Amino acid sequence: MKRTLITPLAWIVLVCVQAQPKQMCITIDDLPVVSYTKTDLEFLSEVTEALVATFDAFKIPAIGYVNESKLYHNGQLDPGRVKLLELWLQNGYELGNHTYAHKNYHRVSFSEYAEDIIKGEQVTKPLVQEYDMEYQFFRHPYLRIGSTKAHHDSLKQFLDKKGYREAPVTIDNEDYLFAKAYHLAYMENDTSTVKKIAGTYLIYMEEKLLYYEDMAERLLGRSMKQTLLLHANLLNAHYLDDLARMYQSHGYVFISQGEVLKDDAYDKPIIKYGDWGISWLDRWALSQGKKGEFFKGDPVTPKFVREMAK
Ligand SMILES: [Zn+2]
């Protein structure tokens, strides 16, 4: 019997051709910065500069979602805070709308919410256009998209009319709890707690990645272009580079908001609604009738982090 021999080099070529890199879009919410106890411009600049430096270093075509209420200081539009947004644009990073005051669509009237969307584009939209970039994406605060189909449809229609595309999230997580705990410990110079939170955060985020990768495989029968949600805070300013390395070690390259939405997984219908702020993978799974067992193994935020973030 004649055996076909494949040389080691041929194997490498074969593996390289077959192994398409996995793709991920990194989206950052609550711009310019989630500042907790520290609101001076110097601190806000430090966080922004660190995030942008990491995008540059790891070739992350990130998008930031802005709450324009945070551009005001003592009731006045603060040019220093607007400059933070310009730092994103100057370096080629996109900005989108996250409403003016981070309102929950499930808790306010439609007209109040719609008004908050329009109020949320007043500064950012002209600024983005000055940089010859497109302003077109909307991220729902608290990932609340509407508690019924009709409730969601009316928002979707409004967004369509205003030229916005919805920006779903697939890798949802509680980075904001870790971030608050980290921020408080950091400001108290509690080095051992700072290290403990950061170490736990990196493990938790890797577990979340694996959880949602696996869910995508089980739901779609294939991997998908993932969308990660993070927030603009001190924790991510310090550890986004470690996160990026972790994602790279799992075979990821980073892509833009427009690119990630080319995956037709994002066109899957949603027919189940509730008072949920969840991943779109969860929404698609619920819409397909998946129950309890399907969602097993979702990594939880450790109790000590939850306690600290209270
Ligand atoms: Zn938000």
Of the candidates 141, 102, 144, the one whose C-alpha atom is nearest the C-alpha of residue 277 is 144
pLDDT in tens, the chain (310 residues): 445 555 555 555 555 445 679 999 999 999 999 999 898 999 999 999 999 999 999 999 999 999 999 999 999 999 999 999 999 999 999 999 999 999 999 999 999 999 999 999 999 999 999 999 999 999 999 999 999 999 999 999 999 999 999 999 999 999 999 999 999 999 999 999 999 999 999 999 999 999 999 999 999 999 999 999 999 999 999 999 999 999 999 999 999 999 999 999 999 999 999 999 999 999 999 999 999 999 999 999 999 999 999 9
Question: 3: CA distance to ligand 1 center in Å?
Answer: 59
Whether the CB-CB separation of 55 and 91 falls below 8 Å is answered with yes
Taking the mean position of all CA atoms in its chain, how far away is CA 214? 19
Question: 241: CA distance to ligand 1 center in Å?
Answer: 22
Question: 224: CA distance to ligand 1 center in Å?
Answer: 24
Question: 142: CA distance to ligand 1 center in Å?
Answer: 6
H/E stretch holding 139: none
- CA quadruple 254, 216, 204, 94: dihedral positive or negative? positive
Question: 118: CA distance to ligand 1 center in Å?
Answer: 16
Examine residue 12 and state whether it is found in any structural domain, yes or no. Answer: no
Examine residue 13 and state whether it is found in any structural domain, yes or no. Answer: no
Examine residue 59 and state whether it is found in any structural domain, yes or no. Answer: yes
pTM of the entire predicted model: 0.93
CATH number, domain with residue 26: 3.20.20.370
Examine residue 232 and state whether it is found in any structural domain, yes or no. Answer: yes
Examine residue 199 and state whether it is found in any structural domain, yes or no. Answer: yes
Residue 157 gets the label, from left (phi > 0), alpha (psi -120 to 50) or beta, of alpha
Domain residues for the domain of 156 are: 22-309
Question: 295: CA distance to ligand 1 center in Å?
Answer: 24
Examine residue 11 and state whether it is found in any structural domain, yes or no. Answer: no
Question: 85: CA distance to ligand 1 center in Å?
Answer: 16
Torsion of CA 237, 54, 91, 70, to 10 degrees: -10
How many domains does the chain contain in total?
Answer: 1
Examine residue 7 and state whether it is found in any structural domain, yes or no. Answer: no
SS3 of residue 97 by DSSP: strand
Examine residue 64 and state whether it is found in any structural domain, yes or no. Answer: yes
Structure tokens given for 46: 């430090």
